[in-house]
Amino acid sequence: MSIQEQYRSRAKELLGEGSVKMVIGYGVGTTATRRRPIFITSPDETDRLVLDASCRTNLAGYLLREGLLADQKSIAVFLLPDGVRALNILAAESQLATAQIVVLGFEIKGEEVKPLEGTAAGDFSAIIAERKEQRKAQPSHEMAVKLEEMTPAERFAFWEKEFSRCIKCYACRAACPMCWCRRCVVDNNQPQWVNTSSHTLGNLEWNLVRAFHLAGRCVECGNCSEACPVNIPLHLLNGRMTDEVLTAFDHYPGADEQQEPVLASFRKDDPETFIL
């Protein structure tokens, strides 16, 4: 049985026995390699589920739709390891209770999709720990290395150029599982800290504010860059913040659901190199 079939039948089983009220998974999209999220509530529809190497979107954010989990019923969701990390952060930030979530975990190696053992968020700690070590050992992107080698002026010019394309559509915000604020700071117009029109200063402000708000929370799922209609490499910016918390505080976002936010907690041995 193919992995897709395995997961379809697992979903059918979960819905059939009534242990979940919905399965959030991947369905066919507009092109051969594009997948779109689908929300299945009946065991008869599980054949619409697709699972292949194109299923890279992090679906964790869809769990936060207002009222979705209010009835205390469970929902199953297809998640890559980074998605499980996102789930942990959402639980740590009191946005959901992991007890309500059945994880249909999988990972993608090259072009191959592999199943992951476990159903609860806590079952995936081993693979998350493994990924933390990998992440520590090497930067996530070639371009990240190049950016580090640039002078500050060159780097600024790079980002200024990238951000100049931004049209403030906020697709990054909509796609990001961590952007769950009921009211985003950019939508607060009393006062209007961040200019909404699409010009250099406002663009820079918006993208930097979002990066700071993701510091210690970004799981590097790549949803933001994928969603960006003008191809700004946002993952590089957010990845840089992940580097920072990882090296300074050994903080790997979403390692478990007890994790405290890195910017609101401290340990006695935290480095204080920034204090002059």
Partner 1 sequence: MAKIGVFVCHCGENIAAKVDCTKLVAAMEGHPGVAIAHEYKYFCSEPGQESIKKAVAEYGLTGVIVAACSPRMHEATFRTACAEAGLNPYLCEIANIREQCSWVHNDGEQATRKAIEITRSLVEKVKRNNELQPIEVPVTRRALVIGGGIAGIQAALDIANAGGEVVLVEREASLGGHMAQLSETFPTLDCSQCIMTPRMVEAARHPKIRLLTYSEIEKVEGFIGNFNVTVRQKARFVDMNLCTGCGECMQKCPAKKISGEFDCGLANRTAIYTPFAQAVPNKPVIDSEHCIFFKNGKCKACQRVCPTDAINFEMEDELVELEIGAIVVATGFQVQNTALYGEYGYGRYPDVLTGLQFERLASASGPTGGKITRPSDGKEPETIVFIQCAGSRDPSKGIAYCSKICCMYTAKHAMLYRHKNHDGNSRIFYMDIRAAGKGYDEFTRRAIEEDGAGYVRGRVSKLWQENGKLMVRGADTLLGRPVEVAADMVVLATAMVPQPDSKELGKTLGIGYDEYGFFNEAHLKLRPVETATAGIFLAGACQSPKDIPDSVAQASACASKVLALFSRDKLEREPVIAQNNEATCSGCWGCVLACPYNAIEKKDLTDRSGNLIRRVASVNAGLCQGCGTCVTFCRSNSIDLAGFTEKQIFAEVMGL
Interface with partner 1: number of residues (CB under 8 A): 19
With both helix axes pointing from N to C terminus, report the angle between 125-137 and 234-249 in degrees, rounded to the nearest 10.
100
From the CB of 107, what's the least distance to partner 1, in Å?
29
Would you state the torsion angle of the CA atoms of residues 115, 118, 121, 124, taken in this order, to the nearest 10 degrees?
-70
DSSP 20: -
From the CB of 181, what's the least distance to partner 1, in Å?
4
Is 181 one of the binding residues for partner 1 (CB under 8 A)?
A: yes
CA distance 205 to 191: 15
Query: Which one of 52, 93, 123, 256 is in contact with partner 1 (CB under 8 A)?
Result: 93
Which of the ranges 7-15, 102-110, 120-128, 184-192 carries the binding residues for partner 1, by CB under 8 A?
184-192
* Exposed/middle/buried for residue 237 (C-beta within 10 Å: 0-12, 13-18, 19+): buried
Pick the closest to residue 206 from 240, 159, 269 (CA basis): 159
Is 273 one of the binding residues for partner 1 (CB under 8 A)?
A: no
Is 270 one of the binding residues for partner 1 (CB under 8 A)?
A: no
Which of the ranges 134-142, 196-204, 231-239, 255-263 carries the binding residues for partner 1, by CB under 8 A?
255-263
* DSSP H or E segment with residue 88: helix 81-92
Which of the ranges 74-82, 100-108, 230-238, 257-265 carries the binding residues for partner 1, by CB under 8 A?
257-265
* DSSP H or E segment with residue 62: none
Is 196 one of the binding residues for partner 1 (CB under 8 A)?
A: no
Q: Could you list the residues that contact partner 1 (CB under 8 A)?
A: 93-95, 180-185, 188, 190-191, 193, 213, 260-261, 263-265
